[in-house]
A and B are shown apart, each in its own frame.
Chain A
Amino acid sequence: MDQFTLGQERDKKLTGNYPSHYTIDELLMAAIAREVKDGTFTAVGTLSPVPAAGCLLASLTTAPHVKLIILGDLESPLDSGSSQFFDMAQRGLIDLFFLSFVQMDAACNLNLTVIGNYRKPPIPFPRGAGSAMLYHLVKKVIVFKTSHTQKIFVPKVDFITCSGFGIPLDNWQRPGGPNKIITSLATMKVERKRKKVILESVHPGISPHKVIINTGFPIEVPGKIPETVPPTIEQLRLLRTTVMKRLEQIYPEYCMNWKTTIINEPCASARGSGG
Chain B
Amino acid sequence: MGIPFIPVRGILGSDYLSIQPRFKAMKCPFTSHEVVVVEAIVPDYAVIHAYRADSKGNVLIDKHSDVDLAVQAAKVTIATVEEIVTEGALIPDKNSRLMSWINFHVIVHVPFGAHPAGCPGYYSLDRDHLKQYAKMAGNRRYFKSYLKKYVYDFSNHNEYVKRVKKERWTSSP
Q: Which residues of A contact B (CB under 8 A)?
A: 72, 74, 76, 78-83, 90, 113, 118-119, 128, 132-137, 159-164, 166-167, 171-174, 253
Q: How far is the CA of A80 from the CA of B64 in the complex (A)?
A: 5
Contact (Cβ within 8 A) B64 A82 = yes
Q: What 0/1 readout, one digit per residue, does chain B (14-35) give for beta carbons within 8 Å of chain A?
A: 1110010000000000010111
Known: A134-B10, A167-B12, A173-B33. A118 touches B66 (CB 8 A): no
Chain B at the A interface: SS class: loop
Q: How far is the CA of A120 from the CA of B145 in the complex (A)?
A: 25
Contact (Cβ within 8 A) B10 A137 = yes
Q: Shortest Cβ distance from A115 into chain B, in angstroms?
A: 13
Contact (Cβ within 8 A) A136 B10 = yes
Q: How far is the CA of A76 from the CA of B65 in the complex (A)?
A: 12
Q: How far is the CA of A72 from the CA of B69 in the complex (A)?
A: 17
B side interface size, CB within 8 A:
25
Contact (Cβ within 8 A) A81 B68 = yes
Contact (Cβ within 8 A) A161 B15 = yes
Contact (Cβ within 8 A) B64 A163 = no
Q: Shortest Cβ distance from A159 into chain B, in angstroms?
A: 5
Q: How far is the CA of A242 from the CA of B31 in the complex (A)?
A: 48
Q: Is residue B8 within 8 Å, beta carbon to beta carbon, of the partner chain?
A: yes
Q: How far is the CA of A132 from the CA of B12 in the complex (A)?
A: 8
Neighbouring A residues of B66 by C-beta, 8 Å: 80-83
Contact (Cβ within 8 A) B95 A74 = yes
> Which of B10, B19, B67 is in CB contact (< 8 Å) with A118?
B19
Residue of B nearest to A163 (CB): B13
> Which of A81, A119, A166, A253 is in CB contact (< 8 Å) with B13?
A166
Q: What 0/1 readout, one digit per residue, does chain B (80-120) give for beta carbons within 8 Å of chain A?
A: 00000000000000010100000000000000000000001
Contact (Cβ within 8 A) A135 B31 = no
Q: What 0/1 readout, one digit per residue, does chain B (59-86) give for beta carbons within 8 Å of chain A?
A: 0000111111100000000000000000
Neighbouring B residues of A174 by C-beta, 8 Å: 10, 12
Q: How far is the CA of A64 from the CA of B63 in the complex (A)?
A: 26
Known: A74-B120, A80-B97, A172-B33. A163 touches B12 (CB 8 A): yes
Q: Shortest Cβ distance from B39 into chain A, in angstroms?
A: 16
Residue of A nearest to B95 (CB): A74
Q: How far is the CA of A17 from the CA of B10 in the complex (A)?
A: 44
Residue of B nearest to A171 (CB): B33
Contact (Cβ within 8 A) B15 A118 = yes
> Which of B14, B35, B69 is in CB contact (< 8 Å) with A161?
B14
Contact (Cβ within 8 A) A81 B10 = no
**Nearest 5 pairs of A and B residues by beta carbon:** A163-B13, A81-B66, A136-B10, A133-B10, A167-B13
Neighbouring A residues of B69 by C-beta, 8 Å: 81, 83
Contact (Cβ within 8 A) B11 A133 = yes
Neighbouring A residues of B68 by C-beta, 8 Å: 80-81
Contact (Cβ within 8 A) B97 A132 = no
Contact (Cβ within 8 A) B14 A162 = yes
